[in-house]
Amino acid sequence: MRIVLAGKLPGAQIVGLARDGAQAVMMFKAHQPDAVTMDLTMPNMDGIRCIEEIMAINSDVPILVISALADKATAIAALRKGARGFLNKPFTEKQLVAALKEVISDE
């Protein structure tokens, strides 16, 4: 993902890659990124809980949920918690870049 974004989203910089939900929240506090991409299935802290924690820190940050479509209800719950968009796995580079552009746009 780092390679994809470096080439397709000029000006974008990945400030951190977290191994699990708990680390993601810590890194979010430390780096205050402009956008977050997140898998719903993570060790230590699941995606829903992680979104809740991040929203408590900054409710304006756009979060793109990246997950498989097996459980739509969980993905919808994640969006209800504050995520802005959803990208189905597997995805192409083009789809990822388009989704990120969409999720960080103001409109």
Partner 1 sequence: MKSTEPPKTSSWMGKYRSIIFAIGLFIIFDLAVLVATFFMSQQIADDTAALNLAGRQRMLSQRIAKTIYVAETEQVSSQLSAGTLKELKNASAQFDTTQRGFSVGGAATDTAGQDLKLKPLGGATQQDLLKQIATLWVPYIALVDPLTGPIAPTAETIRKAADYSRTNSNKILDLANQLTAQFEADVKEKTNLLRIAQVVGILLALANIAYIILALIRKLRESDDLIEQRHREYTHIMATVREGLFLLNKDGTIGSQMSASFPAVLGQPAAPGMDFLSILKRLVPEKDHEAATEYIALLFGDRVKESLVASLNPLSQLELRSTEGADDMVSRFISLQFSRVKTGKEITHLLVTAQDISERVRLTQAVKDAELRAQEEIKGLLDLLELEPAVSKRFLVDTEQSLDAINEALRGAGQTRDYPSTISEIFRRVHKLKGEATVHNLTLFETLAHRFETILSELRDRPNLNGDDLLVIPPHLEDIYSRTAKLRSLAERMSSKDAHIVQSAASGHEFGYMLESLAEKVSANQKKKVRVLTDVPDFGSLPEAKATMLRDIAIQLVRNAVVHGIEDANERVMSSKTETGSIHVTLKRLDANKFEFAVRDDGRGVIPEHIRESLVKSGRYSRAEADAFDERALVMKLFEPGISTSATIDNDAGRGVGLDVVAEKVKAMGAKIRLGTRPNLFTQFNIIFAAAA
Binding of partner 1 by 94 (CB under 8 A): no
Taking CB under 8 A as the rule, does residue 89 contact partner 1?
no
CA 35 to chain centroid: 7
Sheet holding 85-88, edge to edge: 36-39, 63-67, 85-88
39 binds partner 1 (CB under 8 A): no
Contacts with partner 1, 63-82, as mask; x by CB under 8 A: -x----x--xx-xxx-xx-x
CB atoms inside a 10 Å sphere around CB 54: 23
The number of C-alpha atoms within 13 Å of 80 and in the hemisphere containing its C-beta is: 6
Q: Among 83, 93, 94, 97, which residue sits at the site for partner 1 (rule: CB under 8 A)? A: 83
Contact map string, positions 45 to 64, toward partner 1, x by CB under 8 A: -------------------x
Stretch that binds partner 1, among 3-11, 16-24, 33-41, 86-94 (CB under 8 A): 86-94
Pick from 36, 54, 61, 87: which binds partner 1 (CB under 8 A)?
Answer: 87
SS3 67: strand
Cβ-based burial of 99 (10 A; exposed 0-12, middle 13-18, buried ≥19): buried
